[in-house]
Amino acid sequence: MKEQLLQKFAEVFGGTDGAKVYFAPGRVNLIGEHTDYNGGHVFPCALTIGTYGVARKREDKVLRFYSMNFDQLGVIESDLDDLKPAKEAGWTNYPKGVIWAFGLKGMDVTNGMDLLLFGNIPNGSGLSSSASVEVLTGFILRDIYGFEVSNQELALIGQYSENNFNGVNCGIMDQFAIAMGKKDNAIFLDTATMEYEYAPIVLEGAKVVISCSNKKRGLGDSKYNERRSECETALAELQKVVDIKTLGDLSEEAFEANKDAIKDPVRVKRARHAVYENQRTMKAVAALKANDIEEFGKLMNASHVSLRDDYEVTGIELDTLVEEAWKVDGVIGSRMTGAGFGGCTVSLVKDEAVETFKEQVGKVYLDKIGYAADFYVVEIGDGPVIL
């Protein structure tokens, strides 16, 4: 892979002197969806698929970007003195946003660079290709310019740039999981305090299978920001009767006792999901520590039901993938993962059932939806690296 990337870099930008190759993973969230901006817990892991980058520092202030995934766009040029988001700049708004955010943090990028990217995360799949690009860019900047910045800070800078440069109100989970990934471990993160611990994922005789719906969606134009604001309003209503900072501060009992303070039945459902999903995530990690993978699977299933009925972010594509997965003998648990409205599901599947799973779920999906889903058996990998 490294040789192919360098070869392409030479072809696009001329030579490879001074060029280095980097990688940042994608991520999948095992449980804890739409909790990261509600002060709750999440349980993501980094994957061995992600974004590769080849970068070289320039002497001038020109930024030249090229993506092997968008060959047809050719080289997109920009300038360090003109870092602002632009529709026509497309994917380059992500690396540009990170460079901009570094500058705001007092780490001025004074020289331009040539940057070639190649991602093997399915596009629009909800496995966090944008966060992968952001963390990768930050990691490259740290290496090229010698900035003193930790991986955790790279995650925060990535989130800041996505919120403020790209206008997507994402939580911290994606960037954190990617920057802090550890092989064969998921990260149990309290998004309210940023306290985290690694939890080993020991799946004896089972695999993590990602099913990609191939329904295209954009985070910014999905109902993501709408859900966020519904939760914020519900939180403000609850705060009149109970002393909490986030929805993640509530137990199920405390929520049930105080939910009448929320003046709209839709907002009650949204808040209920945030509260119950947070509790489910804590229970799921406890189950994993107790080596109770069956209980973990049941909590994954319950998570999907809540995302479908209370949070209403699934849609026919994801529901079909999950409901068909539940029918397959050997599926321990299955749920949508990511923001929803398309994207992917994540399933824990016993080794002997993986092929049946792909076949059965794939057939029903194609018949019902009219186009095929893609299936990926994935491994849990490390955070960003220099190759």
List, by residue number, the catalytic residues. 174
Tokens 């925060």, located at residue: 156
Establish how many alpha carbons lie within 13 A of residue 71's alpha carbon, considering only the half-sphere containing its beta carbon: 3
| Cβ(161)–Cβ(98) below 8 Å | yes
What residues are paired with 21 via a beta bridge? 54
Cβ neighbours of residue 315 under 8 Å, at least 6 residues apart? 215, 340, 341, 342
Distance CA(231)–CA(237), nearest Å, equals: 10
Rounded to an integer, what distance in angstroms lies between the CA atom of residue 166 and that of residue 148?
A: 25
Helix (H, G, I), strand (E, B) or coil at 180: coil
- Distance (Å, rounded) from C-alpha 284 to C-alpha 267? 25
Let me know: does 12 contact 66? Beta carbons within 8 Å: yes
